[in-house]
Amino acid sequence: MSAATGGEASADPQHIAIVTDAWHPQTNGVVRTLEATSTILRHWGHEVTVISPDNYRSLPCPTYPEIRLALTWPGAVGRRLARLRPDAVHIATEGPLGLAARNFCTRHGVPFTTAYHTQFPDYVARRTGLSPDVFWPYIRWFHRPARRVMVATETIRSELRAHGVERLHHWSRGVDLDCFSADAPPPPEYAAMEVPILLYVGRVAVEKNIEAFLGCEYPGTKVVVGDGPALAELRARFPAAHFLGRRSGRELAGCYAGADVFVFPSRTDTFGLVMIEALACGTPVAAFPVPGPLDIVTDRVGALSARLHRAIDAARYCDRDECARYGASFSWEAATAQFLSGLAALDPEVEEALAALPA
């Protein structure tokens, strides 16, 4: 087996193992990123094996039952990696499967890469009430042995470096332009809504800070597309808002395209895939000036402000054609080439050691 190389259809295809705690039926940016990346890699001739919770027994995550936590016997993930003998191992998440793969790789000297998809310390802090500082030692420990840690934006790169996480590699995100475009027909529900239509798309969960959007005093109609554990509470607290549930494909594109402003209230995302999907549909973005929006939103395609109503008001004046052009500049092919170039290849000695392990 040979080293992974950058580019498109490699002359020497690779077998890439991706270990992730986030996978279907979850609907979030991590899952969509891994799915899009895997699809393109396979199109380029690479073999991709995804090791995810659907390979094992699992239980609902406390406070977030839509997320399944895999239950495995000690060594089960490692034995599978040993049987696969991949050319490269990528660990996408810091959960139980990611931890099992990390421990196996460090124990047997198998090189691997990781990714920082979510502001994990802030995410857990919102759910536990503890300070994010409590969780940064785990992040440093988890990613320290990785050959490279893949990050989507320069702001997150700087933050990780400040917390002692090194060997960082840029891995951006893309948009499916066959799906997300300005000509997508809006949903029929929009016809009866007062304008401007202000839209949020994503998980309906505490870490997404959706209450900051729904509680913002701005005229028009507030729309939420998505599902999650905070849905019932937010419906009860904000009865004037419209909750359309989960949408996908061209239906989701129409939700974006028919809105006047896409509002992104999260303070814990490392990128915000939904922002570039909205932009590709011609819809400007309003957000807080935090990691993710700071790296994506310019004053030509949206607005950032600590006061969300001001960001919404400014975003309404952006040119929608300019938004669509900017959103279309985010390519999944380019992002996948970045991912491929960052992978760590297995040395022949490590391959022999893996082959000698019991299956």
Contact between 258 and 189 (Cβ < 8 Å): no
Query: Is the pLDDT assigned to residue 22 strictly greater than 70?
Result: yes
pTM of the model: 0.87
For residue 217, give the amino acid letter.
Answer: E
pLDDT in tens, 220-272: 999 999 999 999 999 999 999 999 999 999 999 999 999 999 999 999 898 99
Query: Is the pLDDT assigned to residue 218 strictly greater than 90?
Result: yes
Query: Is the pLDDT assigned to residue 124 strictly greater than 80?
Result: no
How high is the pLDDT of residue 351? 75
CA distance 39 to 142: 27
Q: What is the pLDDT averaged over residues 90-116?
A: 94
Query: Is the pLDDT assigned to residue 62 strictly greater than 80?
Result: no
How high is the pLDDT of residue 129? 81
For residue 74, give the amino acid letter.
Answer: P
State how far the alpha carbon of 335 is from the alpha carbons of 19, 88, 151, in Å: 19, 18, 11
Four-residue CA torsion sign, 147, 168, 267, 182:
negative
State how far the alpha carbon of 292 is from the alpha carbons of 49, 108, 221, 279, 333, in Å: 29, 36, 25, 14, 20
Contact between 94 and 20 (Cβ < 8 Å): no
Query: Is the pLDDT assigned to residue 8 strictly greater than 70?
Result: no
How high is the pLDDT of residue 126? 74
pLDDT in tens, 301-346: 999 999 999 999 999 999 999 999 999 999 999 999 999 999 988 7
pLDDT band at 347 (very low <50, low <70, confident <90, very high): confident
How high is the pLDDT of residue 3? 35
How high is the pLDDT of residue 11? 46
Q: Specify the range with the lowest mean pLDDT, choosing from 89-98, 129-138, 232-241.
A: 129-138
How high is the pLDDT of residue 63? 58
Q: What is the pLDDT averaged over residues 206-213?
A: 95
Query: Is the pLDDT assigned to residue 107 strictly greater than 50?
Result: yes
Angle at 316 between CA 310 and CA 317, to 5 degrees: 105
Contact between 324 and 285 (Cβ < 8 Å): no
Q: What is the DSSP string of 279-334?
A: HHTT--EEE-SSTTHHHH--TTTEEE-SSHHHHHHHHTTS-HHHHHHHHTT--HHH
pLDDT band at 288 (very low <50, low <70, confident <90, very high): very high
Angle at 236 between CA 235 and CA 242, to 5 degrees: 30
Query: Is the pLDDT assigned to residue 358 strictly greater than 70?
Result: no
Q: What is the DSSP string of 194-216?
A: PSSEEEEES--SGGGTHHHHHT-
Domains of the chain from N-terminus onward: 15-174+334-356 (3.40.50.2000), 188-330 (3.40.50.2000)
CA distance 120 to 133: 11
Higher local confidence (pLDDT), 130 or 299: 299
pLDDT in tens, 135-191: 999 999 999 999 999 999 999 999 999 999 999 999 999 999 999 999 999 999 999
pLDDT band at 120 (very low <50, low <70, confident <90, very high): confident
pLDDT in tens, 187-204: 999 999 999 999 999 999
